[in-house]
A and B are shown apart, each in its own frame.
Chain A
């Protein structure tokens, strides 16, 4: 079946511009996660959505970052007034409800370059 998809796959933007990244989770998955991977670093948790519960935004690095999710479908991660330090691969993952911790399915990521 279809996996997690993300768009765009690559994005180059100028410093100060806003960008919007999209994630389409696997159908039926109630949980959705955003991560960031900077060059040479591990995956950094950004935000977590679970069903209709309030999202856990504790990983967002600044108020320039925001994310939304409509029900149990698409999510968008928005970065306002981008900075060069925002350059990274942004990964989205989804998982079905349940206690199994390993069932996170990742998308291919969006590679963001801020000039």
Chain B
């Protein structure tokens, strides 16, 4: 039973355009969400997070939106750059598990120059 779902395994976007990566979850107890970025042969690196008390968090070119009623979050990258090409994982945690994250299956983003 996949509690965190990333239904798009891959996405291609032209350089300079917006990349939108989506993530859906089923557990209404999740209250903290993170996005990680992973390059080949490297471990994931933290990108941005959002708490359920917010619906938006922005950090430079990266913005995460949270829609609690729809149990949906998205990561926007504007403008997209070739160096953003990587696999992006969303992860979720609830208040009872401050260290246990449930990860999605990842979306491979390719930014075309």
Contact = CB atoms under 8 A, between A and B. Distances in A.
B46 A104 contact: yes
Interface bin, chain A:
20 to 34
Interface stretch (B14-22, B74-82, B100-108): B100-108
A40 B105 contact: yes
B55 to A, nearest CB: 18
Interface in B23-51: 32, 34, 36, 41-46, 49
Contacts, number: 61
A108 B105 contact: no
Nearest to B39: A108
Nearest to A3: B43
B89 A108 contact: no
Contacts of A45: 100-102
B43 A108 contact: yes
A112 interface: no
16 contacts: A31-B99, A35-B103, A40-B105, A42-B4, A42-B102, A42-B104, A42-B105, A42-B106, A43-B89, A45-B101, A45-B102, A48-B100, A101-B32, A101-B34, A101-B93, A108-B42
